[in-house]
């Protein structure tokens, strides 16, 4: 059997929806697992020179966790990564979802989005990335494990401003305060409600909805050059937020073109991806 799994990049939080909201983006990693080929691991694309080839990568580790002692056949795995690593674009979730889907397939189970999501979420720990990676579109992951998926409005046009510098989600969570003042909780609840309307029905509301008082300011404090670009865009009226735990910025193109910040940045314009992972298998 030879199976190819494609898993999208994801942008979590989307401003006020900390740890709940996520968007699937049409920028996909791809792995091919082949049980007929000589067992080895090879990589192409983002991180190809730094990812391990000894089975200690996140996809292989995930496959072992899903197998949970059951034997997986030997296989060759080739990964092609298009999602920038350690930038707040869900590359870890993409790896974990790919591993879950590949392992379920090798074990003879059907990897539906709702079979893959709870496994990926518990292994990787960020349901707001795992949900759109599995289900596509705009997702709301609830703390009880439920996921609600919505189609994004066709005029929602994401622009990713990806800095050269990398971020660590662990560090970006460590700086967050444990308690949120009541006024800030109310602020985020109001803007999160508006954001659902903005993303699904009325993109003209994105500028008003994309505000947060729970995580962005303190995280931008970790990356001053990114904070500078964020503020310049905000001052120009561009709807913008920190993608996931950063340091990528997620902006939305409304009337004006989002400007390129220049040296040290990549600008990507992936569409929103209506579906999550996909799988093609041949025997
Ligand atoms: N909601 C998580 C965070 C996403 O912001 O820390 C991590 O990808």
CA gap 202, 25 in Å, rounded: 19
At 4, list the tokens.
């190819």
Between the two ends of the chain, the Cα-to-Cα distance in Å is 4
CA gap 127, 25 in Å, rounded: 16
Q: What is the pLDDT of residues 165-181, one digit of tens each?
A: 999 999 999 999 999 99
Statement: residue 148 has pLDDT above 90: yes
Statement: residue 233 has pLDDT above 90: yes
Q: Is 12 in the pocket of ligand 1 (CB under 6 A)?
A: yes
- Longest alpha-carbon distance in the chain: 59
Please report, for the chain, how many H helices and E strands are present, in that order.
9, 11
Residue 283 pLDDT grade (very low, low, confident, very high; cuts 50, 70, 90): confident
Residues in CB range of 41: below 8 A, 6 or more apart: 52, 53, 54, 55, 57, 60, 76, 77, 78, 79
What's the mean pLDDT in 130-145?
A: 97
Atom of ligand 1 nearest to the CA of 90: 8
DSSP 215-269: SHHHHHTT-HHHHHHHHHHHHTT--EEE-TTSSSEEEE-SSSPPPP--TTEEEE-
Atom of ligand 1 nearest to the CA of 92: 8
pLDDT value, residue 61: 97
pLDDT value, residue 12: 98
What's the mean pLDDT in 231-257?
A: 95
pLDDT value, residue 238: 95
Statement: residue 142 has pLDDT above 90: yes
Nearest CA residue ID for atom 1, ligand 1: 19
pLDDT value, residue 282: 86
CB 21 within 8 A of CB 242: no
What's the mean pLDDT in 267-275?
A: 98
In the three-class reduction of DSSP (H, G, I as helix; E, B as strand; rest coil), residue 34 is classed as: strand
CA gap 32, 80 in Å, rounded: 9
What's the mean pLDDT in 109-118?
A: 96
CB 140 within 8 A of CB 21: yes
At 160, list the tokens.
């990713």
Statement: residue 254 has pLDDT above 90: no
Instruction: Label residues 161-184 b or e (16+ Cβ within 10 Å = b).
Output: bbbeeebebeebeeeeeeebeeee
Residue 105 belongs to what H/E stretch?
helix 91-106
Going from the C-alpha of 68 to that of each of 15, 61, 64, 71, 210, the distances in angstroms are 36, 11, 6, 9, 41
Q: Where are the beta strands (DSSP E) in the chain?
A: 2-12, 21-34, 41-45, 76-81, 138-141, 147-150, 158-163, 240-242, 249-252, 265-268, 278-282
What's the mean pLDDT in 78-103?
A: 97
pTM over 0.85: yes
Q: Is 245 in the pocket of ligand 1 (CB under 6 A)?
A: yes
| Torsion angle of C-alpha atoms 36, 37, 39, 45, degrees rounded to 10 | -130
Atom of ligand 1 nearest to the CA of 18: 1
Ligand 1 pocket test: pick from 126, 212, 220 the residue with the most ligand atoms within 8 Å of its Cβ: 126
pLDDT value, residue 255: 80
Q: Is 129 in the pocket of ligand 1 (CB under 6 A)?
A: yes
Q: For tokens 């999602």, what's the residue?
A: 83
Mean pLDDT of all residues belonging to the chain: 97
pLDDT value, residue 263: 95
């Amino acid at each position: 059997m030879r199976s190819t799994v494609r898993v999208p990049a994801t942008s979590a939080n989307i401003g006020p929806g900390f740890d709940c909201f996520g968007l699937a983006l049409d920028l996909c990693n791809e792995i091919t697992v082949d049980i007929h080929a000589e067992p080895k691991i090879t990589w192409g694309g983002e991180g190809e020179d730094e990812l391990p080839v000894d089975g200690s990568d996140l996809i292989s580790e995930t496959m072992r966790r899903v197998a949970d002692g059951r034997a997986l056949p030997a296989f060759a795995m080739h990964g092609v990564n298009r999602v920038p690593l350690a930038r707040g674009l869900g590359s870890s979730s993409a790896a974990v979802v790919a591993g879950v889907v590949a392992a379920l397939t090798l074990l003879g189970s059907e990897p539906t989005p709702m079979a893959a999501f709870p496994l990926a979420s518990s292994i990787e720990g960020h349901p707001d990335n795992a949900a759109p990676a599995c289900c596509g579109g705009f997702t709301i992951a609830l703390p009880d494990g439920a996921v609600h998926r919505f189609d994004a409005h066709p005029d929602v046009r994401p622009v990713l401003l990806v800095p050269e510098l990398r971020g660590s989600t662990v560090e970006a969570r460590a700086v967050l305060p444990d308690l949120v003042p009541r006024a800030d909780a109310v602020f985020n609840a109001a803007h999160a409600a508006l954001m659902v309307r903005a993303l699904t029905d009325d993109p003209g509301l994105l500028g008003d909805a994309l505000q947060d008082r729970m995580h962005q300011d303190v995280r931008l404090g970790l990356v001053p050059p990114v904070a500078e670009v964020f503020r310049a865009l905000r001052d120009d009226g561009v709807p913008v937020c920190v993608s996931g735990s950063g340091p990528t910025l997620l902006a939305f193109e409304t009337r004006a073109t989002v400007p390129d910040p220049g040296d040290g940045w990549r600008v990507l314009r992936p569409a929103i991806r209506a579906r999550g992972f996909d799988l093609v298998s041949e025997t």
